[in-house]
Each structure stands twice: as C-alpha cells, then as structure tokens.
Amino acid sequence: MIAATLMMVCTMNNKAAAQEDKGVNTARFGFMGGVNFSTLYTKDADNAKALTGFNVGVFSNFPITEFLSFQPELYYTTKGGKVTYNNTFVDGTAQYKLDYLELPLLIQLNITHSFKVFAGPYAAYMMSGKVKNESNVNLFNFEDNLKVDDYNRMDAGVAAGIGVDFGSVSIGARYNYGLTKVGKEKTFLGTKYTFPDASNSVLNFFVAVPLYKN
C-alpha cells in the first residue's frame, strides 16, 4: 500500500513537471507592435533629438532548452531623428523620418516563467523616408521625400531588451544600437563627406500577442 502510494505521488509529480516544461518549451507565433523613440546619434550626442514613431510585425519563438529560446522577428519600424551639422559649406538642422523593414535574430533567456531578457543582431532595409532641412543658407532649405538610393539602404546593429508575460500577452522594451551610417560618403568640390554622418538609435516599447502555440 505504501509502495503504491509512493508510486502514485511520483507519477503525479512527473506529470506536473512535464506539463510545466511543456509550458516553457512551447513554440509560438504571433503579432507584436508598439511605440518608438528614435535618434540619429553622432560623436556629438548633445545634437541628437528624438522622434516618436511606431513598430508593427510578427514574431516566432522556438525553444532550445528550458531556459533558452530563439526568436526571429520581422516588422515595419520607423527610425530617424534630428541632426545638427556645422561644416565648411553650411550650418543647420536636418530632420529625418525613415521607414525600415527589420529582421532581428534574438536569443531569449527565461529568467523565470514570466520574465525574459533577450539580445542579438538585427538587419534592416530602408523602404522610404522624408527629410526636412533648415539652414543658414536659404538655398538648402527644403522638405521632401528622400531618394533612398542616395543613402545606405541597409542598416545593421545589435538589439537587447526585457519582456514580461501577463497570461497570454507579453510587454517589453528594447534598445537597438545601429552600427552602420545612414548617409553614404559623397564628394563635393573635391571634399569627401558623409551626410548624415550618423547611425540609428531606437528605444521601443512593445506588446506581443501569440496566436499559435505548439
């Protein structure tokens, strides 16, 4: 009788553990979106001013172990910012509103069942953008859609952040640090320059809703 009781307890514990592990080691797919605060950072960080935008897309999460998972994402995101410049030809401020299709490849660490941290590289492709320029030379003042081929259409960098699960909904925050320049190197009157000589920097807050679990 005692032996049978012990076997029953062990069996129930094993089933509970298996169910708990299944909850952790579950592949997921869903939608995510949120708000962005983006800047174009330069060596002179005091000149960087943030723009407010948004991000929206899809994500997948594939378990590797009980504590680790791989999370690729694909989403549309706004970037950009205001850059103050002072060079040989003109002084002024340029405001860039840039639209990207972004692919982060993240490794997620499950600190607890509800609290996650994640990090990994990202690559993004510039789809469109607008630029507004105000300077001390009226000839250079304008507001228009930018010609994306005149800029580095590929953006790459690293991302890191945290997430918290509330039932079937997750909320989180992340920071994307760009490692490429937005502007291409050009030559004007024999002088080489890069404008904007800046990289993307984005802080975003998001909500993720899984639609499929396996």
pLDDT tens figures, 176-205: 999 999 988 777 677 776 777 889 999 999
Query: What is the DSSP secondary structure assignment for residue 182, as one 8-state letter?
Result: S
Strand stretches in the chain, DSSP E:
28-41, 51-63, 68-86, 91-110, 115-135, 142-145, 154-166, 169-178, 185-188, 191-194, 199-213
Q: What is the pLDDT of residues 64-123, one digit of tens each?
A: 998 999 999 999 999 998 877 776 666 778 788 999 999 999 999 999 989 999 999 999
In terms of residue numbers, what domain contains 166?
2-213
* CATH code of residue 167: 2.40.160.20
Residue 198: Cβ-neighbour burial (10 angstroms; 0-12, 13-18, 19+): buried
Domains: count for the chain = 1
Which H helix or E strand runs over 2?
helix 2-24
Q: What is the pTM of this model?
A: 0.79
